[in-house]
Chain A
Amino acid sequence: MQKFLHKEQLAREEHIMYIPGAKIFEIRAEQGLPPLALPTTDADFLQNRMHGISVGEIEAMEGAGRTVCDFEEVPWEFTLDMARQVWDESRHTEIYERLLRHVQSKLGEYPESRILWDCACAEDPAARVAGVNRGLEGLACDVFAQLIQLAKKLGDPVIERAVDFVLADEITHVRMGSTWMRKLTEDDPARRQMALDFQHHIDELFNFGGARQEGAADQVSISISREARKMAGFTDEEIDRLVKAASASVAY
């Protein structure tokens, strides 16, 4: 079986269009739009955001599956946790596919950037879980907590409850990632630092040049959720570091 797949090798139905993230941002910038849809600038914000999460969940499912098969020299329990994550992400994929229908959209209505997949390609398992489980799933904590707040504001209990169920899993995934990053690097501080550096690189990428920041759910593109991140086990110091890095990010 081939290991370490490239993004061009992901199987998709024909109607799901792959367009690189940088190009999508460029096209949005041409129209005077921020890189990510904003409740204040995009009339189709909810559909757009829900679509981004849906394809993100598909990529997360594929990424966790790939981790199961890419690494053989890891503890059996690590593989088992990643297999459990595939199961979780496949359930999320189904939930978001239905939420897309709930907001009158469908898979393929927006392009897929595969940015998430790009970030799931570390060749060291410790870096892989640091980047995916702590970086990307940390991002999911922010995005989902924001979506729950927006759903409350809109008075939409379907979105509010469905996303809350998914958020609970993502919190578990972050915790799982933190545990494995520490365990896999417990006698190797240099390897741990490399894993953390990779996570910080992912964090920086998903600050989207300042689009992620602390702020009201309906005012910023991605609102950093201290509450969800603390539930996921991030320390105050780690969250402060992210907030500082996000605010220092160059505006797109």
Chain B
Amino acid sequence: MTEPSTLTVKQAAQVHAQHIVAGDRTAMQQDCVVSVRQDPPDLYAQLDAMTFERYAVLGHAKIGFQHVFKIRYFGAVTVTLHHRFGAVDGQWCVLESERI
């Protein structure tokens, strides 16, 4: 992880969204746990091939100790994702991303 452990989960979600919009594949991967669940299974590969201009955080819900963010990415194609974050070794990491 490249981000400091002092990031709140909301900040971590914003940072991940910024990495996706910037098309920064390495940073995107570093935001996620190695075994990040993806739906579809090649979601991050698909995102990598897309270009986005901006994003909007639409929702933020809690499930137990974890958080799910609903984020819409705007570009030639507009996609909406759920990113699930959990604390791993004191840092908020993406455990799962799903296209809805």
Contact = CB atoms under 8 A, between A and B. Distances in A.
B63 A27 contact: yes
Interface in B10-36: none
A19 B68 contact: yes
A230 interface: no
Given A27-B66, A31-B65, A16 B59 contact: yes
Contact of A14 (B58, B63, B82): B58
Interface in A1-26: 14-17, 19, 24
Interface residues of B, number: 14
B61 A31 contact: no
A209 interface: no
A115 to B, nearest CB: 15
B97 to A, nearest CB: 13
A31 B68 contact: no
Contacts of A111: 61, 63, 68
B84 to A, nearest CB: 7
B65 to A, nearest CB: 6
A19 B98 CA distance: 11
Nearest to A27: B63
B83 to A, nearest CB: 11
Contacts of A108: 59-61
Interface string A109-130: 1110000000000000000000
A55 to B, nearest CB: 11
Interface string B51-83: 000000011111111101010000000000010
A238 interface: no
A14 B66 contact: no
B82 to A, nearest CB: 7
Contacts of B62: 44, 48, 109-110
Contacts of B60: 15, 108-109
Given A19-B82, A27-B84, A14 B65 contact: no
A17 B64 contact: no
Contacts of B58: 14-15
B61 A42 contact: no
B66 A17 contact: no
Interface in A46-86: 48
Interface in B81-99: 82, 84, 86
B68 A15 contact: no
